[in-house]
Amino acid sequence: MTHHVLEPEATGTVGDGAVWTQDASGSRTQADPLRCEFAGWLGDELVGVHPDFIVAGSLADALRASDLTGFELREAVVTTSPEFVSYAGGLPQRWERLDPTGRADGNDDFAQRDGMLLVSERALALLNEHRIVEASVTGAEDTDQTARFIRQRDAARTKVQERARAEREAEADAGAQEAARVTELLASRRGTLTEPPTMRANADPKRRISGDVTLAAAALGGTIDDDSTLAVLNLIDGSLVVNGFGTKYCSYESADRSLQVHLDRGVVKYIEYVIKPHYNAPKANYRRTGHIIDGLEMFTREAVLERLGEPKAVRTGKRTAKTADEYRLGRKLVFFLWDGEEHRAATVRVGRK
């Protein structure tokens, strides 16, 4: 019998407590019950848990009711990881192990070779009645069922792309409306916004500073409409851009990303002043370096150390030549990031503990 090679969605990983054994051919396989853990699920009813396979309950029932040969359905224990994300609705509650028992050179509808699932034209016809669009098929020859499989897969992927594009466009529209709202709010409050507060660096009463860095520290933990946050956004020279509005994590930024206010569930989590462009902010160039710490004419590492004293901690990059000096402003953390052996100013990040 001619078999097609089917490579299923591979979002399943081996779950805790799995016991390994060998099948009749000497290949490594899980002993029963098969244990699978999902960190994510793309929606297919057939999933690979290398080198084994599981099927959703609806597909298992259809297989059991068919006259297809060369497989057994057995117990599977399926769990989800703490970070589990489903991209296709609710994860089916029931899964079963699909064990291909046929011979690759025989007349059964299911077989296995080198970790790949082999299916006959009849088996593929049944699978085509279920959602299996993240898999890939290599047809032994062009047939009606392989053509159908590819059409369904391509149509499903196009639908996903269109939905993602629509979501991006809707998010961009919502972000533009939010940017316009906050810009109008800034204009109405511009004359009443707070000045940078004075704070002690590392709780040292002799190291009192103010500037953009303390303005950012005062905004942490607030909402976007708070005067303290608006005072930071008021530093933007140009247009305001809002990314990810309406999602758990969003940011309010200058167009060149040199000033970034990041929120977590509506609360300001950290603020960055990006002086040296990097991969995530290729056009960044924060121009107010003379105001990051008031009175500091040259924003260099030597000048910061002289003004603030020794940092609480110094971290160096393992892969890149970067240095991060950590200071405390009350219960807030400030990281001054320097690039290269010359310690060129790169980024100032102000965040919460």
Q: What angle do CA 177, 183, 186 make, to 5 degrees?
A: 145
**Model pLDDT, residue 188:** 94
Mean pLDDT of the chain: 94
With contact defined as beta carbons under 8 Å apart, do 96 and 62 qualify?
no
Which residues contact residue 220 at a Cβ distance below 8 angstroms, ignoring those fewer than 6 apart? 268, 269, 270, 271, 332, 350, 351, 352
pLDDT classification of 296: cutoffs 50, 70, 90: very high
- List, for residues 126-182, the tens digit of each pLDDT value: 999 999 999 999 977 789 999 999 999 999 999 989 988 998 898 889 999 999 999
Q: From 255, 249, 247, select the one nearest 274 (Cα to Cα).
A: 255
pTM of the model: 0.64
- Alpha-carbon distance of 315 to 338, in angstroms, equals 10
- Alpha-carbon distance of 147 to 341, in angstroms, equals 59
Q: From 202, 194, 235, 241, select the one nearest 218 (Cα to Cα).
A: 194
**Model pLDDT, residue 303:** 96
65 vs 169, higher pLDDT: 65
With contact defined as beta carbons under 8 Å apart, do 187 and 293 qualify?
no
User: In the predicted model, what is the mean pLDDT of residues 294-319?
Assistant: 92
pLDDT classification of 297: cutoffs 50, 70, 90: confident
With contact defined as beta carbons under 8 Å apart, do 252 and 231 qualify?
no
Q: What angle do CA 88, 90, 96 make, to 5 degrees?
A: 100
What number of other Cβ atoms are within 10 A of residue 120's Cβ? 23
Which residues contact residue 306 at a Cβ distance below 8 angstroms, ignoring those fewer than 6 apart? none
**Model pLDDT, residue 192:** 85
* Residue 220 CB burial class (10 angstroms; 0-12, 13-18, ≥19): buried
Residue 318 pLDDT more than 80?
A: no
**Model pLDDT, residue 137:** 94
Structure tokens that stand for 341 in this block: 């052996």
Place of tokens 């103010």: 210
User: In the predicted model, what is the mean pLDDT of residues 64-76?
Assistant: 98
User: In the predicted model, what is the mean pLDDT of residues 104-124?
Assistant: 93
Measuring CA to CA, how many Å separate 294 from each of 27, 288, 308?
A: 69, 10, 12
- List, for residues 248-290, the tens digit of each pLDDT value: 999 999 999 999 999 999 999 999 999 999 888 899 999 999 9
With contact defined as beta carbons under 8 Å apart, do 265 and 228 qualify?
no
Measuring CA to CA, how many Å separate 199 from each of 231, 277, 288, 294, 328?
A: 17, 28, 19, 12, 10
Per-domain boundaries in the chain: 4-141, 168-352
Strands (DSSP E) found in 31-158: 34-41, 46-49, 52-56, 71-86, 95-100, 110-113, 116-119, 136-138
Residue 319 pLDDT more than 80?
A: no
Sign of CA dihedral 272, 278, 283, 286: positive
- List, for residues 76-110, the tens digit of each pLDDT value: 999 999 989 998 889 999 999 999 999 988 999 99
Beta bridge partners of 259: 273
